[in-house]
Every structure is written in structure tokens, then in C-alpha cells.
Chain A
Amino acid sequence: MPVIDVQHQLDTLTLTIVAEFAAPVERVWQIYADPRQLEKIWGPPGYPATVVEHDLTPGGRVHYYMTGPQGEKYPGYWRITAVDEPRSFSFEDGFADQTFTPDPNLPVSRNVYTFAEHDGRTRATYVSTYDSAEGLQKVLEMGIVEGATSAINQIDDLLAA
């Protein structure tokens, strides 16, 4: 399993996940720098992502939508706030309307992704922060659900704890 550490900071509504990948930092960076690779990993099963705009530079935007099983579209955007290729980038991730105008009524998360070389592999640290519990709840209600498979995997994790 590539995930090596998970931390939930309840007071700051922050999720930190550390994973290790068997590839160089530059290769992992490519996944985020290449929209065709990014869309392969972003959407959960049954909700494939399509990236329609991709500018991974400070102030740049990434526009994407996920398509649900009934064809419903969930548009989202990233607003890139910092880039230090290939070591880290920061962005706000939020929901948008069909024209990719950010929806101010929907929650935004602040994200920092960091990639560091570790014994020839890449240690990736993902930090995601929400402003309010309501915001976090809304995000989970918006259809980004991994569904049964991950729920079942989670049982295994719990039992192993």
C-alpha cells in the first residue's frame, strides 16, 4: 500500500496524507502537469474527470468536470496559488457552474501537495484544509463518493487497526 501516514486534525479541519510512490519526483509531477494523466487519477470510480483547461502556474486555473453514472456533470476548478516545480504546488479547489465560474456559495479547500525524493522513491504529502465543518459536509454531499468499494476497504483498515 502506498499510503504510509494519515492524520486528521479535527480543530483545523485538515487532512494530511503521506504516500510513497515507486517513481522519481519528476514522474509524479508529470501526473499533475499533464491534463490527460490528471484526469486518469482525479475522479472516483464511476465519476471520470475531464480536464478542459490546465495552467499549472501561479494564478493559473485548472477547469475540470466529473461525469456521473447518469451523465450528470460536476464542474470544479483549481486556482493555483504557488508552484515550485517539481517539488510542490498549492491551490484552492472549489465547485463551479457549467461555465466554470466559481460558485461562491460552495466550499473551497486549500491544498498543498509536496513531493520529495526518499530512497529513490517519491514521498508525496497531501494537505487539504476546509474552512468549516459545513463546507466539508457539503463537499462530501456533492457526489464525490467513492461508493461501496472504498467503504468496504475501510472496514479492513478498521479491523487491522
Chain B
Amino acid sequence: MTEIDEERADALFHALSDRTRRDIMRRVLAGEHSVSALAAKYDMSFAAVQKHVAVLERAGLLVKRRSGREQLASGDVTAVRSVASMLTELEQIWRGRIARIDELLASDPAPHHQED
């Protein structure tokens, strides 16, 4: 794996590891939003939302363009909706379940069989 790939993976997973950023992605995938319209949706400062948008942009998940005084953000559909990345996300849910099964089994007191 090259240094650049590693950096991209870092940026991608860091971007999606935050709930507000995932929520922003849902909105901008549905359609273009101005950054100020996005900021109005959250109980945080404009600057904080702008920072989240910048993280998503650096990860290649979101693109921004300028229209007059507005900054308009839209989700990069190909980047986010690629089936491969969705299956990878699903895989994480499954890996979580498998890890929990493993933990549950490990907490069994001792191997035993119950006969009916």
C-alpha cells in the first residue's frame, strides 16, 4: 500500500467516523446545500459546521462550489455510493456482531452440554 493510499484511507475513515459528518453526508447526497443552510440544522457554530464540511471535502466525499456569496456543497455520489464501500460498511457491522459473539462465548463458565 502506498503512502498516498494510506493517507486517503485515513481521511475517508476519519471523515465518516463522526455522526454529524455522516448526517451532513446524508443531506448533501440528497441534493446541493449551502453551507449556511447546513449550519442552521445543527446546534453548533457556523465555523464548526464549516470545519466538518472541510473534512468531508478533503476525504473526497463532498465537493464545494461558489455561487455569489454562498458556498454550495454536494455529495460525490460515485465516491459514497460505490457498492464496494457500502459492502465494506456492512462488513463492519457484521464484524462487530461476530466480535460480540466471540466475547459472549468466551464468557461461558466452562464447556458443558445440557441434555433435554
A interface residue numbers (CB < 8 A to B): 2-3, 6, 8, 10, 13, 15, 17, 19, 21-24, 26-28, 31, 37, 40-42, 44-45, 124, 126, 128, 133, 136-137, 139-141, 144-148, 150-155, 158-159, 161
Contact = CB atoms under 8 A, between A and B. Distances in A.
A128 B86 CA distance: 13
Query: Dominant SS at the B interface?
Result: helix
Interface size bracket, B side:
35 or more
Contacts, number: 114
B97 A42 contact: yes
B1 A159 contact: yes
Given A10-B83, A41-B100, A133-B83, A140 B89 contact: yes
B88 A8 contact: yes
A8 B91 contact: yes
Interface of B: 1, 6, 9-10, 13-14, 16-19, 22, 26, 81, 83-84, 86-102, 104-106, 108, 111, 113
Contacts of B113: 24, 26
A136 B93 CA distance: 13
29 contacts: A2-B98, A2-B102, A3-B95, A8-B88, A10-B87, A15-B91, A15-B94, A17-B95, A17-B98, A21-B105, A23-B108, A23-B111, A26-B113, A31-B101, A40-B100, A41-B100, A44-B93, A44-B96, A126-B98, A133-B83, A139-B90, A145-B93, A146-B92, A151-B13, A154-B13, A155-B9, A155-B10, A155-B13, A158-B1
